[in-house]
Structure 1
Amino acid sequence: MNTWVTTLLGALTGLVLLWLALVAALAVARPRGNALGEALRLLPDLLRLIPRLARDGSLPRGVRVRLWLLLGYLAMPFDLVPDFVPVLGYADDAIVVALVLRSVVRHSGEAALTRHWPGTAEGLRAVRRLARIPAEPDAGDPETGHRP
């Protein structure tokens, strides 16, 4: 067999293995329970939040780059995981958004997320659950509004 054919087959095999590893990582990182349904309801607010965060000059450059890359990923006409793949096919965008938001909060603090959130307080709590960000310590009971 020619060297270039062997190289091409090796590269394709490597890409398939890399894609399978990515799908496995998305499966592990996916939100549990009804968080994916919440993510779909929050989509309009999330689509306004991400550009706001990306344009915030007070955030670290790496965070802003991640947010612009996320916007590019969301704008792509094809998905990383095809829709026929059970569970992950329709959820890959929500999972990627949750992972990026978690990274944004880890690197720039929760104040940036709160400052730029365009939706309701209930929606912000849902985003925090989706991205597995701990609840605010002084947020109180969401039902009654009473603080501990």
Structure 2
Amino acid sequence: MEAWWRGLAVAAVVVLLSWSVLVLLARRLPPGIARDLARFLPDSVTAVRRLRRHPAVPRRAKGALLLAGLWVLSPVDLIPEFLPVIGPLDDVVVVALALRYAGRRVPRDVLLAAWPGERRVLERLLGPAGAPEA
């Protein structure tokens, strides 16, 4: 049983280290797609924290965002986190889908106000303003 706990602790440390690398990369990369991708998960975490208590966010959108957050925290991934660069891609895809879902149900100005990163990244993810609901 002790070996199991040790393995779990090592996995948690690896995940935290990979997130730390993402944050460091986001600060050191030149402007561009790589920097936007590296900043996406930290910016998403901040946005989800801000949106979870906002009264304009419906329960279903909060649920989708919560599930995306649990996916990011889960040690089970489609692509293992310890693989450099591509490890967090499944997390990015899940969070992007949850934000698009929330973007159809939450007023755009609320989402943009909650987003701490560059506005153009979220606007590109959400699509043009006034786009028809799917």
TM more than 0.5: yes
Q: Which residue of 2 aligns with 1:126?
A: 121
Give the structure 2 partner of residue 42 of structure 1.
40
> Aligned partner of 1:53: which letter?
L
Structure 2: how far apart are the matches of 1:103 and 1:113? Answer: 12
Q: How does 1:102-113 map to 2 (within 5 A)?
A: 102-113=100-111
Superposed CA RMSD: 2.8
CA deviations on 1:29-65 (whole Å, 9 max, x unpaired) are xxxxx75651212332221111211221221110111
Query: Could you tell me which residue of structure 1 aligns to residue 64 of structure 2?
Result: 66
Letter in 1 for 2:55: G
Give the fraction of aligned pairs with identical amino acids, expressed as a percent. Answer: 36
Match of 1:114 in 2: 112
TM-score after normalising by structure 2:
0.59
Residue identity matched to 1:113 = L
Residues paired across the two proteins, number: 98
Unaligned runs of 5+ in 1: 1-33, 137-148
Unaligned runs of 5+ in 2: 1-31
Aligned to 1:53: 51
Conserved 8 A contact 2:65-2:98: yes
4+ long deviations beyond 6 Å: none
Compute the TM-score of the two structures, normalised by the length of structure 1.
0.54
